[in-house]
Amino acid sequence: MLLKLAWRNIIGGGFRTWLNVFILSVVLVAIIGFHGLYVGWQRDAENAMIDWYIAGGQYWQHNYDPYDMFSFEDSRAPMVQSIPDADAVEFLVGQGVIYPQGRMINIILRGVETQQNLLKLPTDKLNYEAGKYKLMLGSRTAARMKLNAGDKLMLRWRESSGSFDAAEFEIVDVFITTVLSIDQGQVWLSLQQMREMLGIAEQVTCFSVRQYAGDLGQEWQFKTQDDLLAEFRAVFATEIAGGIFMYILLIFLAMIAVFDTQVLALFKRRKEIGMMLALGVRRQQVIAIFTLEGLLSGLLAVVLAAVWGTPLLLRFQETGMKLPEMMDSYGMDGLLDAMYPQYTIPLVLITIVIVMLILFLVSYLPVRSISRLLPVDALRGKMTKKKRS
Amino acid sequence: MKTVILTVLMILISAGLWSETADEILRRIDDNLYSDSQIISSRMVIEGRRGSREIATRTWSHGSSDSFTEYLSPPREAGTKMLKLGDKLWIYDKNSDRTIQMSGHLLRQSVNGSDLSYEDFMEENIYQDRYTAVIEGEETLLDRTCWVLKLIAKEAGTTYYQRKLWVAKDIYMPLKEELYGESGTLLKRVEFSDIRKVKDRWYPYEIFYKDILNTKGKGTTLKIDSIDLDAEIPECVFSKASLRK
C-alpha cells in the first residue's frame, strides 16, 4: 500500500518529478562513463605493459634496480641456460650519452634479444649485422630529440673495463607504444651488439619469461606481473582519487536537487501529512512514503539512464575519447592518442547502489521531522513540532 | 739474397729505432708535463652557445694520483672544492655544505658544462705508464716540426684507448692531441699553446679542449696564470678534512 501510494505521488508530481529523474540519470551515466574511462585506461595500460615488456613476469639479477643507474654495472650475470629461448627475452641494461643535433644527453641503453616472439617490441628490426650500428627508440623520445627513423645518431658509451668509445648509429625504427617505461630516456640495441660494445659475453641484467620458471637461485629474483605493475597502479590510484572528487561533486549536485524537492514537498504537503496522521497512519509509515518516493525517483532514473545512456556509452566505448597531443607527455602509461572506456557489471551495479544509498539518505533526512509533527497543526497547515521530552 | 737479408735487417733495425725513439719521446714529454708536485692557478674559459663563462681555480697536485682543487670565482662557484685521491673523487659544495663522492655515471658528466668530464680529471697523466707509442711520421704544426705519435693503451680500462700526439721536436712538447675510442672514433681534441719555459722544462700555459661529439659546444680553454713546479705541499692538503676548511 505504501509503495503504491508513493508511486502515485511521484507520478502525480509531473514535470518536477521527471526533471529530478532526468538529472539523476545524467549523473548516473556521467559517473559510469567517466569511471569507465579510468577502468579502460588502466586495462589498456596494463595489457600494453604485459604485451610489450613484462610478459608472464621477469627475473632480475638481484642487484638490479631500474631507478639506480649505479646498480647497472653490478647487476649482470650469465643467462640461465635451463630456460628455452622461445620462453624468455633477455635484456642488458647500461648507460651512454647520445648527441642529437650536437646536444649531449645521458641515456639508458637497453640491449634486447632480437629473435623473439614473446613481446610486441619490434626487435627484429635490430637484427645484428657485423660492423653496422643500429638502434631503435620510442616515439616520445624520438619526438623530444627531433629524431626520425633513418637518422644517424652519435652514441658514446663506456666499456665494462672503463674505456670510452663512440660510434654513429642508424635509427632503424621509431616504435609507437603507450608504455612509457620502455620509451622515455632510453634507446634499444641488439643484445649481441651491446655485449660487443661493453666487452662482456653471455651476460644479461634481466629477462622476461612466458611463465614462472621456478626458483633460479639467489642470483635471480622473480618479479610477478603484479610486482611489476604495482608502481603503475599506485600512481593510477592517485589519478582515480582525483576522479572520485568529480563523482562526489556530481552526486552532490543531484542530491541537492532531491533534498530540495523533499524539503519543499514536506512544506507543501503538510495538510496531507496531517490528514494521514489523523486517519491513523503511523508516523513511521508517513516517513516511509516520502523516503520511498525518493528511492522510486532513483529507480526511474536508473531505467531512464539505461534507455538513453546505454547506446551513448556503447558508442563512446567504440570511438573512445581523443586526447590532445599534450597528453602524450603527461607521464603516465597507457595514454597515447585516445582513451577507450570499459564498463563492467560490478562498475554499473556499484554505481547504482552508491547512488541509491545516498538517495535514501537525502530522501530520509528531511522527512525525519514528521515524527515530531502535531497532526492538528499539520491539518491547519502549521509545522509545529512536538517538544522533545 | 744478401741484399734481401740486408734490407730486412735494415727495416727491423729502423723499426726498433723508431720504437725506442717513440718511447724516449714519451719519456721526454712526461719529464716536461709531470712533476712530483705542483701548484697551479688557472682559469677555465667555457665557450657555450650563450656566450662564455670563466671559472678560476687553484690546484695542488702530488704525483699523478692526488690533487686538490679550490674554485676561486665566480662567486657562485667560489668555495667549491674537489679532491682526487687515486681513483676516488669527492666534491664539496659550499652552498649545501655537503661532500659528494663522484662515482658511476656521475663521472661521465661534464665539469661545469665544459668539454672535460670528471673522468678526464681522474685520468693518470703519465703517458709512459699507460701507452705504447709508435711514430707515424712527421708534420709541421704552428711552424714547428713535429713527430706524429700513435699511442695505444697498454691495458684495458684506460679511459681513451688510442691517442694521436703531435710533438714539437725541439722541445718535446705536444702541440696537439686527439683522443680516440677503441673503434677508432675521434672523441676529443686537445691543443697546447703559449708554451713557456718553467725552470728546466717546457709547459703549456693554454690548453684547449674540444669534445668532438658535442658539436654545439665551442670548446673549453684552460689558461694557466701561474705554476709552481715541485712545490712543497703538506700532506694534509690531500685529505677529506681539507674539503671543509
The domain segmentation of chain A, as residue ranges, is 2-50+230-380, 58-223
DSSP class of residue B236 equals G
Residue B74: cis peptide before it, omega within 30 degrees of 0: yes
Instruction: Give the three-class secondary structure for A353.
Output: helix
Per-window interface: B 163-202 vs A, CB < 8 A: 181-183, 185, 187
Task: Say what the pLDDT of residue A329 is.
Answer: 59
Residues of A at the B interface, defined by Cβ within 8 angstroms = 69-70, 73, 95, 97, 99, 101-104, 106, 154, 156, 158-159, 161-168, 199
Please check whether residue A309 is in contact with residue A32, taking contact to mean a CB–CB distance below 8 angstroms: yes
* Interface contact B187-A158, CB threshold 8 A: no
How far lies B37's CA from each of A50, B40, B81, in Å? Answer: 59, 10, 19
CB-nearest to A167 from B110, B183, B214 is B183
CB-nearest to B105 from A106, A156, A167 is A106
Pick the residue with more confidence: A47 or B1? A47
Asked if residue B225 belongs to a domain, the reply is no
One-letter amino acid identity for B165?
L
Are residue B129 and residue B211 in the same domain, yes or no? Answer: yes
Pairing of strands A186-190, A105-112: parallel
C-alpha to C-alpha distance for B77 and B80, rounded to whole angstroms: 6
Query: How many angstroms separate the CA of residue A164 from the nearest CA in chain B?
Result: 6
Which three cell numbers, joined as nine digits, stand for B189?
A: 681534441
Which three cell numbers, joined as nine digits, stand for B190?
A: 686537445
User: Which chain A residues contact residue B181 at CB under 8 A?
Assistant: 156, 163-167
Are residue B97 and residue B202 in the same domain, yes or no? Answer: no
User: Which chain B residues contact residue A74 at CB under 8 A?
Assistant: none
User: In sequence order, what are the residues at sequence separation of 6 or more whose Cβ sits closer than 8 angstroms to the Cβ of residue A362?
Assistant: A255, A258, A259, A262, A294
ipTM: 0.73
Asked if the C-beta of B208 comes within 8 angstroms of chain A's C-beta atoms, the answer is no
* Interface contact B108-A106, CB threshold 8 A: yes
User: Which chain A residues contact residue B182 at CB under 8 A?
Assistant: 159, 163, 165
Question: Which residue of chain B comes nearest to A158, CA vs CA?
Answer: B159
CB-nearest to B103 from A70, A101, A199 is A70
Above 70 in pLDDT, residue A388?
A: no
Asked if residue B224 belongs to a domain, the reply is no
Residue count of chain A, please give it.
389
C-alpha to C-alpha distance for A162 and B188, rounded to whole angstroms: 16
Which three cell numbers, joined as nine digits, stand for A387?
A: 517538544
Asked if the C-beta of B153 comes within 8 angstroms of chain A's C-beta atoms, the answer is yes
Task: Say what the pLDDT of residue B18 is.
Answer: 46
Global confidence as pTM: 0.75
Are residue B48 and residue B118 in the same domain, yes or no? Answer: yes
Percent residues over pLDDT 70 in chain A: 92
Pick the residue with more confidence: A255 or B68? B68
Query: How many angstroms separate the CA of residue A143 from the nearest CA in chain B?
Result: 19
Are residue B160 and residue B109 in the same domain, yes or no? Answer: no
Are residue B104 and residue B137 in the same domain, yes or no? Answer: no
Asked if residue B29 belongs to a domain, the reply is yes
CATH number at residue B69: 2.50.20.10
Please check whether residue A339 is in contact with residue A320, taking contact to mean a CB–CB distance below 8 angstroms: yes
Pick the residue with more confidence: B245 or B213? B213
Mutation to test the B interface, candidates A93, A106, A165, A194, most B Cβ within 10 Å:
A165
Asked if residue B74 belongs to a domain, the reply is yes
Instruction: Give the three-class secondary structure for B189.
Output: strand
Above 50 in pLDDT, residue B14?
A: no
Asked if the C-beta of B107 comes within 8 angstroms of chain A's C-beta atoms, the answer is no
Instruction: Give the three-class secondary structure for A60.
Output: strand
C-alpha to C-alpha distance for A60 and A221, rounded to whole angstroms: 5
Are residue B116 and residue B131 in the same domain, yes or no? Answer: no
pLDDT band per the 50, 70, 90 thresholds, residue B17: very low
Mutation to test the B interface, candidates A163, A168, A193, most B Cβ within 10 Å:
A163
- Give the number of other CB atoms < 10 A from CB of residue A246: 13
Query: How many angstroms separate the CA of residue B54 from the nearest CA in chain A?
Result: 21
* Interface contact A95-B160, CB threshold 8 A: no
- How many domains, chain B? 2
pLDDT band per the 50, 70, 90 thresholds, residue A107: very high
Alpha-helical runs (H) found in chain A: 2-12, 15-49, 139-144, 191-198, 225-268, 270-278, 283-319, 345-367, 375-380
Average pLDDT, chain A: 86
Asked if residue B223 belongs to a domain, the reply is no
- Phi and psi dihedrals of A367, rounded to 5? -95, 5
C-alpha to C-alpha distance for B36 and B232, rounded to whole angstroms: 10
C-alpha to C-alpha distance for B99 and A28, rounded to whole angstroms: 58
Q: In which residue are the cell numbers 702530488 written?
A: B62
Question: Which residue of chain B comes nearest to A100, CA vs CA?
Answer: B214
Pick the residue with more confidence: B92 or B216? B92
Asked if residue B180 belongs to a domain, the reply is yes
* Interface contact A166-B213, CB threshold 8 A: yes
Are residue B149 and residue B91 in the same domain, yes or no? Answer: no
pLDDT band per the 50, 70, 90 thresholds, residue B188: very high
Query: How many angstroms separate the CA of residue A166 from the nearest CA in chain B?
Result: 6
Structural domain including B10 reads: 2-33+124-218
* Interface contact A99-B181, CB threshold 8 A: no
Asked if residue B169 belongs to a domain, the reply is yes
Residue count of chain B, please give it.
245
CB-nearest to B157 from A104, A163, A168 is A163
Are residue B93 and residue B201 in the same domain, yes or no? Answer: no
Please check whether residue B2 is in contact with residue B195, taking contact to mean a CB–CB distance below 8 angstroms: no
Task: Say what the pLDDT of residue B102 is.
Answer: 79
Asked if the C-beta of B118 comes within 8 angstroms of chain A's C-beta atoms, the answer is no
HSE of B93, CA atoms in CB hemisphere, 13 A: 7
For A3-39, write each residue's pLDDT tens digit.
Answer: 787 777 777 777 877 888 888 888 889 888 888 888 8
Please check whether residue B38 is in contact with residue B227, taking contact to mean a CB–CB distance below 8 angstroms: yes
HSE of B2, CA atoms in CB hemisphere, 13 A: 0
Are residue B131 and residue B78 in the same domain, yes or no? Answer: no
Asked if residue B78 belongs to a domain, the reply is yes
